[in-house]
Structure 1
Amino acid sequence: MLPSSQVNDRIARIAAHLQPPNDSQMGGLRRENCRAKGASGGFKVAVLGAAGGIGQPLAMLMKMNPLVSVLHLYDVVNAPGVTADISHMDTSAVVRGFLGQQQLEDALTGMDLVIIPAGVPRKPGMTRDDLFNINAGIVKTLCEGIAKCCPKAIVNVISNPVNSTVPIAAEVFKKAGTYDPKLLLGVTMLDVVRANTFVAEVLGLDPREVDVPVVGGHAGVTILPLLSQVKPSFSFTPKEIDYLTDRIQNGGTEVVEAKAGAGSATLSMAYAAVKFADACLRGLRGDAGIVQCAYVASEVTELPFFASKVRLGRTGVEEIHPLGPLNEYERAGLEKAKKELAGSIQKGVSFIRK
């Protein structure tokens, strides 16, 4: 029979997965040792906003990812319940929950990848700019924690409006002296996922066989699908181009209106976010040829931030691809996108600098 001290340690170790106590409460049991026996080697990932509409399915899918060894779930409400629920899944990643601002630093310490879906969702009639005043403050607070606790982590920003929240994150990191543009990525993968799906419907193909580059930003006219560069190569009619471009740009509104006040694009966003996070983790692992579209600090245009294809690696963004040849329709769309994007970027920068 095990000594009572070992039994107590084992019980404490299990409890620590769900909501780790402070180190001072743990006695000889250190947080870094709170690992399930047999847990796989891999990366430590934090989801900030894990109890929300995007955060919950995102957390579930990350628990299923074999590249994740430790999964930290943080939110200001309901984090323990979501953590307990997801922790029952029989995959190797160890899940720990963190509740409220007082546990933010614990949630972030030692992370390799931080995913930020935190914030309020869109409602019918709302634009992404309507979300700005609330979500801007949330992203600022979370990024201050990242700068302090895991400045070398890759940061995936989902919180809308991404066109503004990524510049906010950059300004926070600059103030803290930790800014590395290769580590900060706005997640525009949902635009690519939608583009692949909608184009596949027109072509009668499996969406997994389609690759549509989507550049610019992550709102309305700033979302620019480059249909001239679709793979497999295909020539669309002007009517098809108008239809596809409009649907890709307004995919989020399509979901908001269909849910009739019950939410926004949460499930498809979680899927896209996990697909992008997996690409980041494979890059960190050293896999070659990991190329995805993302909204990053860029010199592709005269704007300081722009979404385009990037190659991911051990240091984050290791290469930013040029736009390639654009047709007349896309060149006109690019000018519209840049005009709108410039204002959104400045709005984010001014929020921190004011």
Structure 2
Amino acid sequence: MVKAVVLGAAGGIGQPLALLLKANPLVTELGLFDIVNTPGVAADLSHIATPAKVEGYLPADDGLAKALKGADVVVIPAGVPRKPGMTRDDLFKINAGIIKDLATGIAKAAPNAFVLVISNPVNSTVPIVAEVFKKFGTFDPKRLFGVTTLDVVRASTFVSEILGDLSLSKGVVVPVVGGHSGVTIVPLLSQSTHALPSSLDKSAYDALVNRIQFGGDEVVKAKNGAGSATLSMAYAGAEFAAKVIRAVRGEKGLVTPTYVNLSADAEGASDLTKELGEELAYFSANVELGVEGVVKISPLGKISEDEATLVKAAIPELAKNIQTGVTFVAEAYKTEEPRL
């Protein structure tokens, strides 16, 4: 029996994500929460012939706690999508308070759930969730994940395009490390399961890296003010959630990049920190999943000079993003006290 919960289930990511989770035969219960429209989304999904029983809740009458009751996996796509001209700082100012409130709800109603954060900017929102959990005494670094799967999906797709065969895309695996925005996204193309063409020159390589790093901008521009990456993000979020569900049900050997608190695996973190040459609290790396969540954080391994340069450029931005999330919660609790 697996109960999955989507917080922000009526939004552009939330609805298709909820649909994909409803279609997952391992999900037996699906709880949906948002500030509007959730009962209608739940009613619509409930007609689909799959095992999951669906219920939708609004904020009134303690809806968040009801949605979260008994949750095994909580996925958070809630918040405002990025629009043209909006910086990630702008996005943080809008979404930080939303994430803090939802994290408080999880700490109270589902402290043992696996929490998967999609809401941007992930580099900062994951630390917000962690800091809230720490205040409530419920923080387990093995159970908190930033969903970076979209970067991996994009890398697989774009590499298969360069290879001239999109049918390869499901088999192309490119580790993507660092974080989940701009220069913090570091695709390790040298470790791709499918080598890039030897004819690919430096400018084409740089263009590929840039497209993986700033693929979200491509979508925002194409939608012309009507939203950001929602369908691809929902797909990526459902893919990652499915792997977490499979792992917690006992499947072994599942490894995927995800943005985690490095204290989840002290030994792995030590090896990774030596490679980075600097200590960070959070980093996206290949992570082995298991019944307790994070089992092992993998080191970068052998990388190219170009990739080493990208990692070096990512570190100061990541450190800044992490501190932004930590500081936000610290400032918030100067005027309020967390209460269970």
TM-score (norm 2): 0.90
For 2:56 and 2:320, the matched residues in 1 are separated by 37
Partner of 1:244: 208
Q: Does 1:193 align with 2:153?
A: yes
Question: In the alignment, does 2:295 pair up with 1:318?
Answer: yes
Runs of at least 4 residues off by over 6 Å: none
In the alignment, the residues of structure 2 paired with residue 292 and residue 353 of structure 1 have an alpha-carbon distance, to the nearest angstrom, of 31
Check if 1:258 corresponds to 2:218: no
2: distance between equivalents of 1:189 and 1:249?
13
Q: CA deviation at 1:232?
A: 2.4
1:289-312, CA deviations, whole angstroms, 9 ceiling, x for partnerless residues?
111110001222311000010011
Following TM superposition, by how much is the alpha carbon of 1:134 offset from its aligned partner in structure 2, in angstroms?
A: 1.7
The equivalent of 2:11 in structure 1 is: 52
Q: CA deviation at 1:129?
A: 2.1
CA displacement, residues 208-236 of structure 1 (integer Å, 9 cap, x when unaligned): 12000000000000000001111123455
* 1:63 match: 22
Amino acid in the other structure paired with 2:143: L
Supply the distance in 2 between the matched residues of 1:212 and 1:128 (Cα, whole angstroms).
25
Q: Does 1:279 find its partner at 2:243?
A: yes
The DSSP-based 3-state class of the residue aligned with 1:85 is: helix
Query: Are 1:89 and 2:48 counterparts?
Result: yes
| Distance across 2 between alignment mates of 1:258 and 1:134 | 23
* Residue 223 of structure 1 pairs with residue 146 of structure 2: no
Q: What amino acid does structure 2 have at the position aligned with 1:222?
A: T
Q: How far has the Cα of 1:103 moved from its partner? A: 0.9
Equivalent residue number for residue 165 of structure 1: 125
Greater shift in the superposed pair: 204-213 or 288-297 = 204-213
Gaps of 5+ in 2: 263-268, 274-278, 332-340
The answer to whether structure 1 residue 346 and structure 2 residue 308 are counterparts is no
1:45 CA drift (Å): 0.5
Q: Distance in 2 between matches of 1:74 and 1:133?
A: 22
Segments of 5+ residues of structure 1 without an aligned counterpart are: 1-41
- Is 1:73 the counterpart of 2:32 in the alignment? yes
**CA-CA distance at 1:241 after TM superposition:** 1.7
Per-residue deviation at 1:81?
1.0
Q: Which has the higher contact order (CA 8 A, sep 6+)?
A: 2
State the Cα distance separating 1:128 from its structure 2 match: 2.2
**CA displacement, residues 135-165 of structure 1 (integer Å, 9 cap, x when unaligned):** 1111111111111111111000000000000
Query: Using the alignment, how far apart are the partners of 2:177 and 2:227 within structure 1?
Result: 26
Aligned partner of 1:337 among 310, 314, 319: 314
Please report how far the alpha carbon of residue 89 of structure 1 lies from its aligned counterpart in structure 2 after TM superposition: 0.9
**For residues 310 and 194 of structure 2, what CA distance do their matches in structure 1 show?**
22
- Matches of 1:129 and 1:155, distance apart in 2: 23
How far apart are 1:327 and its partner, in Å?
1.2
Identify the residue that residue 214 of structure 1 maps to in structure 2: 176
Work out which of the residue numbers 80, 85, 95 in structure 2 matches 1:125.
85
Aligned to 1:47, the other structure's residue is in SS state strand
Q: CA deviation at 1:313?
A: 0.8
The amino acid that maps onto 1:318 is: V
CA distance in 1, matches of 2:222, 2:164: 24
Give the greater-gyration-radius structure (CA): 1
CA distance in 1, matches of 2:90, 2:46: 35
Distance 1:69 1:139 in 2: 26
> CA contact under 8 A between 1:181 and 1:297: conserved in structure 2?
yes
Question: For 2:102 and 2:82, how far apart are their aligned partners in 1?
Answer: 20
Q: Is the 8 A contact 1:227 1:241 kept in 2?
A: no
- Percent of aligned positions that are identical: 60
Does the 8 Å CA contact 1:188/1:307 hold for their aligned counterparts? yes
Q: Identify the residue that residue 234 of structure 2 maps to in structure 1.
A: 270
Q: Helix, strand or coil: the match of 2:105?
A: helix
Give 3-state SS (helix, strand or coil) of 1:95's partner.
strand
Once residues 217 and 147 of structure 2 are traced to their aligned partners in structure 1, the CA distance between those partners, rounded to angstroms, is 18
